Each structure stands twice: as C-alpha cells, then as structure tokens.
Amino acid sequence: MTNFPFCIKEIVALLPLTLRREKSVGAYFNCPFCGDNRGKLWVNYEHDIFRCNYCNESGGMLALYGRLNGIYNNSDVYHELCSKLRRSRYSSGSTAQAVQIQVKKEAAPTHIEQAPRATPEQIHQTYHMLLDLLALRELHRTNLQSRGFSDEQIAFCGYRSTPSYWRCLGIAQSLISRGCTIRGVPGFYRNKSGKWTMAFYSRTAGFLVPIRGIDGLIQGIQVRLDVPIKDEQAPDKAGAKYLWFSSGGKPMGCSSGSPTHFVGNPHARVVYVTEGALKGDVSHFLMNRTFACVQGANNLSQFEALLPTLMRYGTEEIVEAHDMDKFHNEAVQKGALKIIALAHAHGLQANSLVWNPDYNGVDEWQLALRNCFAKSVHDAA
C-alpha cells in the first residue's frame, strides 16, 4: 500500500502498452523496454510494481512511467502524473510528508543511455556480416530439414547458430574492424568496460532467424531457442520458443522494434500473412507463395505500416493464414480478424485460409501434403 494519490493501473492507462492477458491482481503486457511481444511484462496491481520476465526491467510505478517518457527524476514524474490524473499534490501537512517519503522510497533509476537506431542499410550490413562470421550447427540443420527445408534453402535464408557468450566481444570488435556500424544496431551494446559486445547468452542458445523487409534488407534477428524460457507466472506452460536479438535497456543498446518479415515476390498480387518468420519461410518454399510474417498474432502495427507499400507494388489481396487454433484461441482469433479488417480498410480483398485442423500451422499442413505426395509417388513406382 502506498501513499500515492494514484495507482499503477491508472498509470498503465496513460501508456501505449499492449495488453496480452489480465488477472485480478495484475496484467501481462508486451514489453516496451526489450521489444518482446509475448506478454512478458508483468504489472502487479496489488503492489504497484512491474517486471519483464525476459529483460528483467523492473521497478515501481514512477519508474514505469518515467523510463517510458524519458523522465528520470521521481519528483518530476510524480508531479506530472498528478497533473495528468488531476490529483492533488498534497502540498501541505503530514500527508505531504508521507508522499515525499514514498517518492524518495521509489529509488530514482539510473539513466541508461540508448543509441538511436542505425539506418536500414547499416543494420543490414552489420547483420549480414555477423551471419557470415557464424556457422550452423548440425543439430540446428537437422531441425530445419525436419521442417521441410533443403540445404539450399537453409543457405538462402541465412540461418546460423548463436555464438558462445565468450565470443561476443571478439565478434563485435571484428565487425567494427571490417567497417560495420555497431552503434544503433539492435543486439549490440557497451559492456561495463565500455567495449562493444552482443546480447547472446548461454540460456538463450539456439539458431538465428534473419528478419527481412520487403526490400530484402535484414532488419532484425530472432533466436529460435534450444530450451524454451518458462514464464515464472505460468510454470506449467511450455514456455517461449523465440526471443529477439535485442539490447534495449542496456548501455547504448537498441530495441528490436519487432519488424514484419517478408519472403517471396514483392510484386505478388496475393500476399499471405502468418505469425512467425520461420513458419513463413518454409511455407513460402512449400507453397511457392509470398508471405508477410508478423511477430505475434496481435502485433500488427508494423504489418499495417507495410500495407501501403504492398499496394504500390501491386498487391490486391491479403490471405490471413494464422494457425488453426484461431477457432478456439481468443488471442489468435482476434489477430486473424484484425488482419482482415486492416486489409479491407486499405481497399484490399481479404480472405482467411483454413485447412485440416490436424495440422495447426500452415507450414505443418503443407509439409504433410508434400510427404503424402512423395509417399504416393514412391508407392506407385
């Protein structure tokens, strides 16, 4: 219980946070600090605190508002909130003293300077060179092949295994020596010694999935984790399988921004939309269709921004291809319906793709069809 004349729930209403799920004692949001879009930012309504279960950004309600608005003095944050919420500042008496004590109690966060995002060309050059310096482990190649990729397609997409933590500093210095821009590229930051390094860790080992724009430039990288990260608030669930290569919240770091992945013909008349870059890549090869891949069923802001470009390039129809659990998963259903609504709002035709519900993802369905066809050809021979 605090002496503030407001609570964290009221502050959340002032912030551009994306709600994922709500409970009686709090709610989960997409994290604006690290760019994670799977609802790992836990806001506790009972104790007026927050914490991201991915990047560990945490604090009280003044810190939440202040860090997202670039205000690093708790007194300034408090007075601005009182003004916005039209609450008395308690300028006299014992209540005033209690509030001032509470403001001081919420220790002022250390200001961590963030780097402005580099240009798309600089980001692409750095990521492209980074991938050139890395290899793909055999266990990851086998994983990709089991999804339906050929070795040629794996090479084309540029998948690589994450480097060991102890290599991060050396790789960053190597990129700098080769003329790459490091400052403002998501995933890179300065360590305690002031040297540039990368945000790869033992617990986030896996393989890298390049995220490309419609122009083919790599604008982000996701990690397909070897071991899913469990949610402390829901330990019985399988855990998150993907994580952004991001350095938001670290010294001179930069957030990923959750860009939409594009694979296929930029001038395609029909563009399919699904969740997940890896799923979109293999579906593109299995179907010979063009895919725009959002990073989260309801994370559609970047996709919406892409629509005018698609229209200029000749797109006439959007086909929603979210997983088949859209018929019983409220979050996925909401995202699927919003894709249709966004397409219609831009004057495009829009349809939903459905298939055998024994296969949840469009990629799983298409791989099953390919395997079935191959078996029938083999049996006929």
Question: What is the DSSP code (8-state) at residue 163?
Answer: P
Regarding whether 90 and 193 lie in a shared domain, the answer is no
Answer with the one of 54, 70, 105 that is the final residue of a domain. 105
The reported pLDDT for the residue numbered 354 is 97
Residues 96 and 201 reside in one and the same domain: no
Distance CA 49, CA 51 (A): 7
What CATH code is carried by the domain that includes residue 316? 3.40.1360.10
The span from the CA of 5 to the CA of 199, in Å, is 39
Give exposure, 279-301, as e/b (b: 16+ Cβ within 10 Å).
bbbbbbbbbebbbbbbbbbbbbe
- Is there a contact between 266 and 313 (Cβ–Cβ < 8 Å)? yes
Is 346 exposed, middle or buried (CB count within 10 Å of its CB: 0-12, 13-18, 19+)? middle
Does 296 lie in the same domain as 209?
no
Written as one string, the DSSP assignment of 191-253 is -TTS-EEE---GGG-EEEEEEE-TTS-EEEEEEEEEEEEPBTTBTTS--EEEEE---TTSTTB
The H or E element containing residue 64 is helix 61-69
- pTM for the model stands at 0.74
Q: Is residue 252 part of a domain?
A: no
- Do 286 and 321 belong to one domain? yes
Q: Do residues 266 and 376 share a domain?
A: yes
Q: Are 54 and 40 in contact (CB under 8 A)?
A: yes
Structural domain contains residue 110: no
Within this chain, do residues 88 and 192 fall inside the same structural domain, yes or no? Answer: no
My answer on whether 90 and 39 are in the same domain is yes
**Total domain count, the chain:** 3
Tell the residue number behind the tokens 């961590």, with chain if given: 112
Tens digit of each residue's pLDDT, the chain (381 residues) = 457 888 999 999 888 888 888 888 899 998 887 767 778 899 999 888 998 877 667 888 888 888 777 676 777 788 888 888 887 655 444 445 555 555 555 544 456 788 999 999 999 999 999 999 999 999 999 999 999 999 999 999 999 999 999 999 999 999 999 999 999 999 999 998 999 999 998 888 999 999 999 999 999 999 999 998 776 555 666 777 888 999 887 899 988 888 999 999 999 999 999 999 999 999 999 999 999 999 888 888 889 999 999 999 999 999 999 999 999 988 889 999 999 999 999 999 999 999 999 999 999 999 999 999 888 877 777
Q: Is 270 left (phi over 0), alpha (psi -120 to 50) or beta?
A: beta
Is residue 83 domain-shared with residue 138, that is, in the same domain? no
**Residue range(s) defining the domain that contains residue 327:** 261-380
The residue out of 58, 81, 105 marking a domain boundary is 105
24 shares a domain with 100? yes
* 69 and 36 housed in the same domain: yes
CATH code of the domain covering residue 48: 3.90.580.10
